[in-house]
Structure 1
Amino acid sequence: MSKLVHEFNDMIRKLRKESFGKGPERIHTVFIENMAIATLYGNLTPTEKFITGSEDGKDMVHAARTKMIQEIYAKSPPEGMEELIGAKLVHLFNDIKVEEDIAISVFVFDRDITENRKE
Structure 2
Amino acid sequence: MGKKEARFNEIVRRVRQQYFGKGPEKIKTYFVENIAISIIEGNLTPTERFIAQTPEGEEMVHRARTKMIQQIYAQKVPEGMEETVGARFLYLFSDIKVKEDIAVSVFVFDRKIDDSEDEYPEEEGM
SS at match of 1:95: strand
Is the radius of gyration larger for structure 1 or structure 2? 2
CA contact (8 A) 1:35 1:109 kept: yes
Q: Determine the C-alpha separation between the residues in 2 that align with 1:95 and 1:80.
A: 23
- Show the counterpart of 1:29: 29
2:51–2:61 CA contact under 8 A, matched in 1: yes
Long gaps (5+) in structure 1:
none
Identity of aligned residues (%): 58
TM-score, structure 2 normalization: 0.91
Note the residue ranges of structure 2 that are not aligned, 5 or more in a row: 120-126
Over residues 57-107 of structure 1, what are the superposed CA-to-partner deviations in whole Å (9 max), with x where a residue is unaligned?
Answer: 000000000000000000111111111111000010000000100000000
Please say if residues 32 and 114 of structure 1, whose CA atoms lie closer than 8 Å, have aligned partners that are also in contact. Answer: no
Superposed structure 1 runs of 4+ greater than 4 Å apart: none
1:100 alignment partner, SS class: coil
The answer as to whether partners of 2:11 and 2:81 remain within 8 angstroms in 1 is yes
- TM-score (ref. length: structure 1): 0.96
In the TM superposition, 1:22-101 aligns within 5 A as 22-101=22-101
User: What RMSD in Å do the two structures reach over aligned CA positions?
Assistant: 1.0
Which of the pair is proportionally richer in helix? 1
Q: Secondary structure at the match of 1:39?
A: strand
How many pairs does the alignment contain? 119
In the alignment, what sits opposite 2:102? 102
Offset at residue 118 of structure 1 (A): 3.6
